[in-house]
């Protein structure tokens, strides 16, 4: 069940090099209780990962599959999907079953089990808005645990799994996620780009919304299969109203979006572009020419190259705007110089 010295380059979408000392593919829940103790990391599709170098622990590669209807009434549908299901295929499957609600999150790479970890979001929707429960194996207490939606403490790119550092130490192995999808459906076109894409459609169907999201994403984001990347690399920083006002006085075009708590979310991509990093490389890595927020690996680079670029971009943005950007991906492995 446990393999030794496994190459992780094929398992991260930035295609950064690095080996793990021990590796196991988790294909059945019955394997959970037998996993050895020690440093570990739960790996899904590797699309939110910066591999800094070799990992001295155990990589548990999630491969649990299966999805089914749990319950349906006249208001909602409850669907459960195993953690190893591909996210986009799951979204398409719900639509094909006539259960809309996840269409704004179409084409996000990775697995279902990772969706609650950083509460994936795009085009005006966050996964947490549709999650009813997360089921996990607590490898410290050695038992199955269920997290209600409230217990997941979802926020912008945040959850209880990140709050406790479980996304780094692999204590909580998410085995499945239960989604609550609404019977009464209205398109969520709050996001301006999406509304524009569907402007000619008076009453778009859920599939039509998904197709529009897919079309926009294909135009904006590089396909990791052709140009390795981890999607938007930095979180959009959230600052208090006073800081946002000061920045907008200095930079009137700086996009700033009011949050329910009175703070403002700033557009990190805009700041990176203004700081001169859009389309600029540092060795084998760079910030994508069509979307400044995306860090790309052009081949032959290492995690150290990527981390050097991350610091350079953070420093440049901080020098100009006084805000330090926070990377979205998880950093794994010992840094090899």
Ligand X SMILES: Cc1cc2nc3c(=O)[nH]c(=O)nc-3n(C[C@H](O)[C@H](O)[C@H](O)COP(=O)(O)OP(=O)(O)OC[C@H]3O[C@@H](n4cnc5c(N)ncnc54)[C@H](O)[C@@H]3O)c2cc1C
Binding site for ligand X (CB under 6 A): 13, 41-49, 62, 83, 108-111, 113-115, 117-118, 120-122, 167, 172-174, 221, 224, 229-231, 330
- Does residue 232 have an active-site annotation? yes
Q: Catalytic residue, from 22, 133, 232, 274: name it.
A: 232
Q: Catalytic residue, from 80, 103, 133, 328: name it.
A: 328
Q: By C-beta, is 47 or 236 nearer to ligand X?
A: 47
- Which distant-in-sequence residues (6+ apart) come within 8 Å of 16 by Cβ? 9, 50, 51, 52, 228, 297, 301, 302, 303, 306
- Does residue 328 have an active-site annotation? yes
Handedness of CA 52, 224, 190, 71 (dihedral sign): negative
Q: By C-beta, is 94 or 118 nearer to ligand X?
A: 118
Q: By C-beta, is 115 or 247 nearer to ligand X?
A: 115
Side-chain-side CA neighbours of 308 within 13 Å: the count stands at 14
Q: By C-beta, is 46 or 286 nearer to ligand X?
A: 46
Helix axes 206-220, 87-96, angle to 10 degrees: 150
Between strands 143-148 and 67-72, the pairing is: unpaired
Minimum CB distance to ligand X, residue 277 (Å) = 19
Minimum CB distance to ligand X, residue 68 (Å) = 18
Task: Output helix, strand, coil percentages for the chain, rounded to the nearest 5.
Answer: 30, 30, 40
Bridge partners, 185 (sequence order): none
Minimum CB distance to ligand X, residue 99 (Å) = 20
Q: Catalytic residue, from 157, 180, 263, 274: name it.
A: 157
Q: CA 233, 208, 213: angle at the middle one, nearest 5?
A: 10
Minimum CB distance to ligand X, residue 172 (Å) = 6
Contact 272, 319 (CB under 8 A): no
Minimum CB distance to ligand X, residue 268 (Å) = 13
Q: By C-beta, is 316 or 330 nearer to ligand X?
A: 330
Catalytic residue IDs: 157, 232, 328
């Amino acid at each position: 069940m446990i393999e030794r010295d496994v190459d992780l380059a094929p398992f991260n979408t930035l295609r950064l090099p690095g080996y793990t000392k021990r590796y196991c593919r988790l294909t059945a829940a019955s394997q959970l209780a037998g996993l050895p103790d020690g440093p570990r990391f739960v790996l899904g599709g590797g699309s939110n990962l910066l591999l800094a170098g070799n990992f001295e622990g155990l990589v548990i590669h999630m491969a649990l599959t299966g999805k089914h209807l749990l319950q349906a009434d006249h208001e909602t549908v409850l669907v459960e999907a195993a953690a190893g299901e591909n996210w986009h295929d799951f979204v398409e499957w719900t639509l094909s079953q006539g259960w809309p609600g996840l269409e704004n999150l179409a084409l996000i790479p990775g697995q279902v089990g990772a969706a609650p970890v950083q509460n994936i979001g795009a085009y005006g929707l966050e996964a947490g808005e549709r999650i009813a429960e997360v089921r996990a194996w607590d490898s410290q207490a050695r038992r199955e645990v269920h997290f209600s939606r409230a217990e997941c403490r979802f926020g912008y790119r945040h959850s209880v799994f990140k709050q406790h550092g479980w996304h780094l130490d692999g204590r909580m192995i998410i085995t499945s996620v239960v989604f609550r999808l609404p019977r009464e459906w209205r398109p969520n076109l709050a996001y301006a780009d999406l509304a524009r894409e569907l402007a000619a459609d008076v009453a778009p169907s859920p599939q039509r919304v998904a197709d529009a999201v897919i079309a926009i994403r294909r135009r904006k984001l590089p396909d990791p299969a052709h140009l390795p990347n981890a999607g938007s690399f930095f979180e959009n920083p959230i600052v208090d109203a006073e800081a946002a006002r000061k920045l907008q006085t200095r930079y009137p075009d700086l996009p700033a979006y009011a949050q329910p708590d009175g703070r403002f979310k700033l557009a990190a991509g805009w700041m990176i572009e203004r700081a001169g990093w859009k389309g600029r490389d540092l060795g084998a890595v760079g910030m994508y020419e069509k979307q400044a927020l995306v860090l790309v690996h052009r081949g032959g680079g290492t995690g150290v190259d990527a981390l050097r670029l991350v610091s350079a971009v953070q420093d440049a943005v901080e020098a100009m705007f006084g805000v330090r950007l926070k990377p979205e991906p998880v950093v794994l492995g010992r840094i090899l110089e």
